[in-house]
Structures are given as structure tokens and as C-alpha cells.
Structure 1
Amino acid sequence: MDRTFEEMLVRQCAPTLAGLKPGSLFCITAEDLENVRKKVRFWDQRLEVLGLSVRILLERREAGSALVYVYRGSQLEQSLGATDRRGFLVGMGYRGSGTEQMLDQLAERLSAQSDFPHEIGVFLGYPLRDVVGFIENRGQNFTCCGFWKSYSDPNTIQRCFACYRQCVNIYVRMYERGIPIEKMVIAA
């Protein structure tokens, strides 16, 4: 692993660890994916008491990589339960109402489709307008770009991006000072 699992967890998931968004995603490469699986199990158990879950959504053995998803179950459930988001996911072919069922379907789509399922933005807490805008515009014609491509009011989204960047910077500094990840998490 070029960067440690923990460093990736902090750098890529700080807004989720801080409770600012329901989920974050990162790709990690490793010579031995069993080590990644062990890290995922370790951190899932460690963060569960704080309201977070860690799971692998996709493994690519040939590339020696895994797509790791960190999420706040209660926040994600509330987000996915919103009428507009639920309707969007049903329209995209998702079935069932449980968060874990939806995540299982997302994982299946990640492994079965050659194209990345862009509805993943809903699971990451992106505004629905931006997820739909990205799909409809095939990633073009966005109003601004940062943590994702946005099709919303650029001023509002830029403030959100600035908040996320500040959060990442603070969390990375805390991590570099040796503060345990568990101490950085805002409990659900």
C-alpha cells in the first residue's frame, strides 16, 4: 500500500468522520487484498460504536485494489429514505427499502457494469440535482467542480467544498500529530 489504510481513511473520509456527509469512498491498492479485508474488518468493528461502518464495495484482484466505503448508517438511511432520492434510486432499478440491501445492489452494479454507476453520488451525500445533472450531461456542462461535479448554484456548492477542504486539512493535521482516528470521529 503506497499510503496506509489509515491515512486514506482520514484523507478521503474526513467529512464523513466529522458527520458532514453520510458516506465517503476511497480506492486502495495492495499486494495482498487479504490485508485490506483485515483492515476493513478492524475499522468496521472499531468505528461501529461511533455510528460508522466500513465495507468493501468492490475488489479488483487483477489490479490489486479495493473500493472501500465508509458511512454513517443512520445518516445514510435518512438520506436514502428521502422521497426524491428513493424515487430516483427506484427509477435506476434499485429494489428494497433497507440501506444494506441498497448497498448490496450498489456493490453488485460496481462489479457487473463496465461503466461506473453514477448514482453512487446519492450514497455519498451529493445533492440529487448534481447526481442527475452529471448523468444527464455525461459529466459535461457542470457549473463548478471540487469534491464532485456540480450542476447547482456554484456559490453554494463552493462554500460546501471549502468546508470539506477545511475539514480534510484539520483531520490530516490531527492524524499527523498522532491523534487516534477514533478520537476524531464525531459520534452519531
Structure 2
Amino acid sequence: MNLEAALIEHASPTLVGLKPASLFRVSPTSSADFARQFLHCRTQLATLGLELLILKGCRKRSSYLLYLYRSRELEALLKQPEHHAFLQHMGYKAWDNVRDCLRQLAARICLEQDFPHEIGIFLGYPLEDVTGFIRHKGRNYTFCGCWKCYGDPRQARLRFERYHRCTELFRRRYAQGVPITQLVVAA
């Protein structure tokens, strides 16, 4: 498993700054190799203003849920009054910083039976899509792409096309030997 390739495949819109965060699962064949790659990538990305976390991990199954985010952008997003109020309504306690809020999210991922749908806020999904998904239980969406949308389908399609073009470009450049650190747009 190559963690850099997984970042390119699943987090290019975050690497370039189109999204504040990305979430993806990796299942490495070697825990030791994964740990080495994870620490290397985390250190490299931190110098560019991005944070890489393990939100949930299972060594027994060798499966990890990774979260890549742009700290400033995520903090600004979570401080927006409508997002803050929504998260409080969903049971999040007051937080002083992004890390505190992410700890609460990680605990909810690990402890709750259902996946916490408010995670969409942490990934930069529009609030109307997150609340629409919860309200309609995943049905009656107006457009389905990277996630189910409940607002303007034209805007959603355009957003997803930008994400797809970004990922395609990053895949191509990475395959040509361009290092991930040169592809990232620094935060």
C-alpha cells in the first residue's frame, strides 16, 4: 500500500484547497510499513498546513479511517454560527479548537452504532446536504455524486466535476513522478 497514492486518489480536492477535509479508509498489508508511511506523510503535509489524523484504527483488521484537513479552513467552517449551532444540536460540547471537536467526532465514530452523519460538516459538505440527508434518511436527494445533495443539483454537479478534474490531474501528475509535496497547494 502506498499512502501517498491513497491521498492522491481520495483527497486531491483537499490537497489543492477545493475542500477543507477528506476522509478515506486504508487497509495496509503491513502495519509497520503503514506506520512509517503515515508518519512521513503527516510530517510532510504539516509543513504545508495540512493535518493527517487517524480517526479510527483497528490493528487486528489492519484498517484505518484517515482524515486529512486544512486546519484554518476547518476552524473557520466550524465557527460559522449555523455549523456551530448544528453541531451543538447533534450533541457536540463546546470546544476551544479544531482538535477538541475532532476528538468528539472520533469518539462518536468509535462508540455509536450508526456512522455519525454530521461528519459531512467536517468534510465541507453544504449544511443543507447534511441536514437533508438526515431528515430524508438518504432518500429524495436532488443529485448524487461524491455525496447525496439536497440543494441545487446544477451547483452540485459542477462542484463534483471540479473534484473529479482535480483528482484526474493529480493522478496523472503523480504517475509522471511529481512528488505529492509539489502537488499540494500550501494552506
If the length of structure 1 is used for normalisation, what is the TM-score? 0.95
**Matched residue, 1:49:** 47
Partner SS, residue 55 of structure 1: strand
What does residue range 12-161 of structure 1 map to in structure 2 within 5 Å? 12-95=10-93, 96-161=95-160
Indicate how the Cα distance of structure 1 residues 136 and 33 shifts in structure 2: closer, same or farther if over 3 A, else same: farther
Distance 2:144 2:101 in 1: 27
Contact 2:4 2:41 in 1 (8 A): no
Q: How far is the alpha carbon of 1:97 from its aligned partner?
A: 3.4
Partner SS, residue 51 of structure 2: strand
Distance 1:181 1:52 in 2: 12
Structure 1 ranges of 4+ moved more than 3 A? 31-35
Distance 1:88 1:161 in 2: 24
Q: How far is the alpha carbon of 1:34 from its aligned partner?
A: 4.1
Contact 1:18 1:184 in 2 (8 A): yes
Show CA shifts across 1:66-114 (max 9, x none). 0000000000000111010011001111111310001011111111112
The question of 1:164 aligning with 2:163 is answered yes
Q: How far is the alpha carbon of 1:130 from its aligned partner?
A: 0.2
AA in 1 matched with 2:48:
L
Indicate the larger mover: 82-91 or 30-39.
30-39
AA in 2 matched with 1:187:
A
Q: How many residues align?
A: 186
Distance 1:152 1:181 in 2: 34
Distance 2:75 2:23 in 1: 17
Partner SS, residue 24 of structure 1: strand
Distance 1:165 1:92 in 2: 31
Partner SS, residue 173 of structure 2: helix
AA in 1 matched with 2:30:
D
- Residue identity (%): 41
Distance 2:141 2:30 in 1: 38
Distance 1:97 1:140 in 2: 35
Structure 2: gaps (5+ residues):
none
If the length of structure 2 is used for normalisation, what is the TM-score? 0.95
Q: How far is the alpha carbon of 1:35 from its aligned partner?
A: 3.2
Partner SS, residue 124 of structure 2: coil
Indicate the larger mover: 96-105 or 35-44.
35-44
AA in 1 matched with 2:5:
E
Distance 2:102 2:164 in 1: 26
Distance 1:82 1:75 in 2: 11
